[in-house]
Structure 1
Amino acid sequence: MGERDWAGLADGDLVALARAGRPGAYAAIVTRHKAALYRLILAHVRDADEALDLVQESFVAAHGALARFDPARSLRAWLSGIALNKCRDWARRRRVRAMLSRVLPVEAAEAVADDRVGTEAAAIERDSLAHTLAALDSLPEGLRSPLILCAIEGLSQAEAAEALGLSVKAVELRIRRARAALREKTG
């Protein structure tokens, strides 16, 4: 089967072919979903290189767990759940590393010059984006993940609920609370 042939297949068909050991089927799954997983992970870790590594780790983990995938579920939601677990693992490792290693003193970090030259409007936009991202980062994980999955990644509330192991009503409530908290933090 050529690349175009894989593109026409539904996720469930690709999973069945990948489970059967069909060469190229899992690669087609990766090709189809890697951009969405990258955006999801990047929204959590805020580091492009780390996000690429975590996307790869997520797909390796998913490949190993493919036999346990329930075809009645959304593949994207299932992959998103794996990716979120990888983000949580990464955050735990990062906290441990931070405790065990020396951190650059704040004074030294402030002494580094910013070589970027921009207009006043660009500076205001960067500040606004930084403020919004900081507000998003300050949300508890339980509020941040549903908001990112639905508002940024475009998953339905049902798909987000499936990825997070919650009810649709719980996702709806958490998104509402997350948006209210963001409004309060960003003014």
Structure 2
Amino acid sequence: MPDVITPATTIERLPIYYRCLQRLDKHGVEVISSKELGEKIGIPSTQVRKDLSYYGEFGRRGVGYEVSLLLKYLRKILGLENEWKIVLVGAGNLGQALVRYQGFRKLDLNIDYVVDAAPEKIGEEFSGIEIEDIDNLEDLIEEEGIKMGIIAVPPEVAQEVADKLIAGGVKAIWNFAPTHIKVPHDIQLRNEDLSIGLISLAYHLT
């Protein structure tokens, strides 16, 4: 791991590099230059080299990067070698879409558990996952060693759900509820407000 603080923008690009390299590897590409890699994801070659230099020297001058080797290193850097157990709270339309999204599986990140508060949904199954009662959430997290949680519930109950996730032992939360939630400093939180993206586009079109 790097000895200096890695910029947040670099960290955000690492999954993009990884996904691009996965496609290249699938198509039998063995070596790629920083220029070619940068062109594929829309950034300068100098930025590619700078981003990767935070984690080591992976390329060879005048040759480029070995795709399979760089893919292996990025997999380790991104923590994808670990088998993370993930729980989703909220089995509505958004929650079901997240469970069915194939992109997570390609990264070996699978939503293993789904919980909901609606009595009529508990016990139902979709995509091979049985919906469990939210009242058992904390016990489920503790028993299964779950470290990642996804919130896909109405905004008025998002904080309560976050508190339950944290109480159970979750260390990282991906929040899709369009509201601000508070978590302790040692909990990793990512907010994903889908409406903001559309509003931003509307603003720029005005």
TM exceeds 0.5? no
Q: Taking structure 1 as the reference length, what is the TM-score of the superposition? A: 0.27
Q: Which has the higher strand share?
A: 2
TM-score normalised according to structure 2 size = 0.25
